[in-house]
Structure 1
Amino acid sequence: MAYCLKLQPPLGHHFKAVSINSKKSKQIFKFKIRSCAVEPENVHKLVVEVKEKLEKEHNTLPVGKNGRDDEEMIFWFLKDRNFSIEDAVSKLNKAIRWRHEVGVSELSEESVKSVAETGKAYVHDFLDIYGRPVLIVEASKHFPGKHERDEDEKLSAFLIEKALSKLPAGKQEILGIIDLRGFRTKNIDIRFLTFAVDAFYCYYPRRLGQVLLVEAPFVFKPVWQLVKPLLKSSPSLVRFCSVETIREEYFAEDTIPASFGG
């Protein structure tokens, strides 16, 4: 199995290019990395060390896909933590527990149907012009308390996984679009917004390439002031923009989401 991980930063950002070649043989992954502080021959050793540390210190964690021996996930978290074993283990412990509690591997269209039918969040059928899958949220359709918290979390996990499954070869990031047209105080849900930030920082690190906040009304300003500090070093990923910006800068004429069509 071959992988090519090439980060494409948002506008105004500059990352080092990372080239990875991964071959799976008897559950062993070999990684080839260029322009990285860690020598290529040491990467798989680090992955193994993280696996062993997770088994020793957190042996109650599940195994298999999304588990403590998932080498692809371990590698991703190592990269996110600049190849620090201790930091990766700490973050993986939290992420694996959450994925197990939510049942990420078992989620399906049917299991999230009741929440998905609200239309408040979905994955767009087309990629943006940068080749990124697109996750769209219509904030005016979210009402705190209408569904249980775990139902909203499961829908979020299902849609993130669905978006990631649409990644073209060589792409690792998705685009998030939050449509704030019609947003009112009754739609404000700080607890869920806090979860959403955690989801992309703790459970799916470096998977969100950019977030577009579309037509933000005045009532959203205090919400942004509360959420912004939670973004830590990532507020630059957020861009406030108009519907016209969505149409003109992110999609081809025949791939514009219907809700933003002319």
Structure 2
Amino acid sequence: MSLRLPPPPFRHLSAAQSTAANTQIVVTRSYSSHSFIKFSVRNCSSETNTDSSRKLVMKVKEKLEKDYYSLPTGKNGRDDEELILWFLKDRRFSVEETISKLTKAIKWRQEFGVSQISEESVRRVAATGKSYVHNCLDVNGRPVLIVVPSKHIPEMFSQSEDERLCVFLLEKALSSLPEGKEDILGIFDLRGFSLKNSDLKFLTFLFDVLYYYYPSRLGQVLFVDAPFVFQPIWQLAKPLVKSYASLVRFCSVDDVRKEYFTESTLPASFRH
């Protein structure tokens, strides 16, 4: 004897019930000597979100092709779907805001000549050791960009040389992001810092670049062993670095050793 269930009565969904559309009830009927109905619940929110994101990416891509066709294409260009998605996330999926910010970023990359910066072209400035990408990830799997302000003498190199090194290292750090990771760790080793090393203009450039052209790529900033003389400089810089000020943590060398690296991945300069 088999059990036949009548079809459920049709009814309109209320507005509240419509919001639950991301969850589907899947009905499976087994035809055996003892027929039964199996119910399972499947959440489709991730699929829906992916579809929505994809549609928005294509919408931005089409608008850029139509209204900004002169912009370059390819990696980091107007048709780079990964780049478009990143800026959409940064702009909370507002198409107009994304287009505004993304077009400025692509134009800046073109004018600054980001793709032409090579290791050889920044070798002279990099030789000071004032900034470099660490060869190991931190405990959270993030690439690490280390800045040593005590080795920075503003008059030693031109502003443009320092800026090109900064962008080269950002590109290098981001190119080593592991699968599934999206941001990097910045460490300012402030041991030995003095007024002769202060460079508010360059610090402003750094955070402007991060805010406008590499949004949400800096996950955290560590100011390590900041001397007393650094405090008034930071108070002047805070309004200029915008929302990145909230990512800053003042900490000690010991904090870096214990919380951010293992014995084998700790940068050499923090071993003593």
Query: Which position in structure 2 is the counterpart of 1:159?
Result: 169
| Aligned-residue CA RMSD (Å) | 1.9
Query: Which position in structure 2 is the counterpart of 1:186?
Result: 196
Aligned equivalents of 2:257, 2:124: Cα separation in 1: 30
CA contact (8 A) 1:65 1:105 kept: no
1:261 to 257, 261, 271: 271
Aligned equivalents of 2:111, 2:253: Cα separation in 1: 37
Q: TM-score, normalised by structure 2?
A: 0.79
Matches within 5 A, 1:46-65: 46-65=56-75
Aligned equivalents of 2:259, 2:56: Cα separation in 1: 40
Query: Which position in structure 1 is the counterpart of 2:144?
Result: 134
**Letter in structure 1 aligned against 2:211:** Y
CA contact (8 A) 1:120 1:137 kept: yes
CA displacement, residues 36-74 of structure 1 (integer Å, 9 cap, x when unaligned): 9x8322222211221232233333322222211211111
Aligned equivalents of 2:199, 2:220: Cα separation in 1: 21
Query: Which position in structure 1 is the counterpart of 2:78?
Result: 68
CA displacement, residues 4-50 of structure 1 (integer Å, 9 cap, x when unaligned): xxxxxxxxxxxxxxxxxxxxxxxxxxxxx9569x8322222211221
Using the TM superposition, name which of 218-227 and 238-247 deviates more. 218-227
Q: Which runs of 5+ in 1 are unaligned?
A: 1-32
**Letter in structure 2 aligned against 1:151:** E
1:144 to 154, 169, 193: 154
Matches within 5 A, 1:73-84: 73-84=83-94
**Letter in structure 1 aligned against 2:182:** Q
**Equivalent position SS for 2:185:** strand
Q: Which runs of 5+ in 2 are unaligned?
A: 1-43
2:108 to 94, 98, 104: 98
How many corresponding residue pairs? 229
2:185 to 164, 175, 179: 175
CA contact (8 A) 1:66 1:105 kept: no
Matches within 5 A, 1:32-51: 39-51=49-61
**Identical aligned residues as a percent:** 63
- Greater RCO, 1 or 2 (C-alpha within 8 Å, sep 6+): 1
Aligned equivalents of 2:233, 2:107: Cα separation in 1: 29
**Greater Cα radius of gyration, structure 1 or 2:** 2
Q: TM-score, normalised by structure 1?
A: 0.82
Query: Which position in structure 1 is the counterpart of 2:229?
Result: 219
Aligned equivalents of 1:125, 1:96: Cα separation in 2: 29
